[in-house]
Amino acid sequence: MKYKLFAVFFVFTVLTSSCTKFLEEQSQSEIIPKTATDFRELLMGSGYMGNQEPTDFLSRMDDDVDLNIEWGAGTPYTIVGTATVKTDYLFYTWQPQLADRNGLGDLISEDPASTAYYYFYEKIMGCNAVLDNINTAIGSQQDKDRVKAEALAMRSFYYFRLVNLYGAPYNNNPQALSIPLKLNSNVTAEYTEQSTVAKVYEQIVNDLKEAATLMDPLPVARRDFHINQPAIHILLSRVYLYMEKWEECVAEASKVFEQSSVLMNMTGITTGYWLTYTNPEVEWMFGAKPQGGDQTAFIPSPDLLSVFDQNNDVRLKYGITNSGGTPLITKYTIINGELSQCIRTAEAVLNRAEANVQLGKLPAAMKDLNDLRRTRIIGYTDENIGDKAALLQAVRVERRKEFFLEGFRWFDLRRYGMPAITHRYQHEPGEAVLHYTLKEKDPMYTLPLPNSILQRNQALKQNPSGTMPDRIGQ
């Protein structure tokens, strides 16, 4: 996807003055955005993610991965001891310095621009610049409404990521401090204090609801890399799920299927290229793959593999490949440079199923679960699980299978009660294999703020995970 855009011009603006003042001035090298179309292009360049994923490290922290210790045993080459593995050591073993150093002992950067925190706020600033000026743009009201809705949805998307990185899980401590809220593009010298988890979620919900109100009356656009109506409702159902607002979650998930004719479609996942717009279930594509690094270094964990039907689940067939007895992750078999993350209707089905279980509406939840499984498991026969706890577990396992290594698992584990996880690690070939444990409700489930950010905003308070002692392997 190509971005012609106002990115350089925009960055200069937000660093030196308010966007409003900037729009009144002329530039020697760029076009000043005036029309709704101009602002949509500005948003695409400065508010959408592009081919980037600043949180790919999360794929090293959950229970879906395992270090490939056995690779190359008895041969001149092995994964253990390589720079690729050591670089990710701090994430993989949940060390308190993970925000500031890599496993080689190097300072990641003193520049905050290298952090996920900075990246998401930079994108939020892009959204804010559009929101501050779109109402006075030239164009039809429908065109302006679409741009405004996209900007609101994208801002909420980034705040959702941020609050789940650096704030406590909503269902654990909604009054805990999390991240600052910045809702305009004005540059200020004042330090910005953190808002509570509850306040950030409130803003996320308000943004998504306003985005849906603006965009729902408009024609649904698909496959143009802009967020659309079904994707907005899927996101809102996800937020309500995390907030445990079950009725609202069901309502938003159901709206998706008022706007999309594709519930589940087997043809969407009969090749290895199913996380693309060729899959009719996909409503929006964004970002680079969330599984970073060498696919031979960190492989699917035995626990993840155990939940699949080994012979008939097409997600396993096209997501994990056996290479000489070693399972390798091949879910992102895409051309470099292509967007690879997506929001698709399967999430609406699983969000609704989980919420209905919590509401005691087991038949409705079971129907959604069976509908999904029929399109994922060859020869599947419908089941009937009548126990609430068992059905809830079945839905959550299905969610794990559906979205493994798509950036869901770490956030889901947080809302599931922050269970204990153990990772095995070997520093050099021949050394002892050590086991590192993330304890139940461990402070590291809320990530430490990078020091480079704390130094530049002295109003921020570090999370407890940032002051923990080093985690020792056993």
Is the Cβ–Cβ distance between 222 and 231 less than 8 Å?
A: no
pLDDT on residue 242: 98
Residue in this structure with the two tokens 């809102």, named with its chain if needed: 236
pLDDT on residue 111: 80
Hey, where are the domains in the chain? Answer: 1-52+115-218, 55-113+424-474, 262-407
Q: How wide is the angle at C-alpha 407 spanned by C-alphas 404 and 413, nearest 5°?
A: 80
The domain 1-52+115-218 having CATH identifier 1.25.40.390: the answer here is yes
pLDDT on residue 268: 47
Is the Cβ–Cβ distance between 329 and 291 less than 8 Å?
A: yes
Is the Cβ–Cβ distance between 452 and 171 less than 8 Å?
A: no
Q: What is residue 341's three-state secondary structure? A: strand
Q: Which two tokens stand for residue 60?
A: 């090293």
CATH of domain 262-407: 1.25.40.900
pLDDT on residue 260: 75
Residues of the chain with pLDDT under 50: 1-29, 266-268
CB atoms within 10 A of CB 19: 23
Residue in this structure with the two tokens 């011009």, named with its chain if needed: 9
Alpha-carbon distance of 258 to 230, in angstroms, equals: 9
CA atoms within 13 A on the CB side of 321: 11
- Looking at residue 93, its amino acid is T
CB atoms within 10 A of CB 257: 16
Q: What is residue 424's three-state secondary structure? A: strand
Q: Which two tokens stand for residue 200?
A: 């950030």
What separation in angstroms does the CA of 443 have from each of 96, 143, 170, 474? 10, 45, 14, 19
Which residue, among 132, 117, 56, has the nearest Cα to 92 in the 3D structure?
A: 56
pLDDT on residue 101: 87
CB atoms within 10 A of CB 461: 11
* pLDDT tens digits for range 232-286: 999 999 999 999 999 999 999 999 999 876 656 644 455 667 888 988 899 999 9
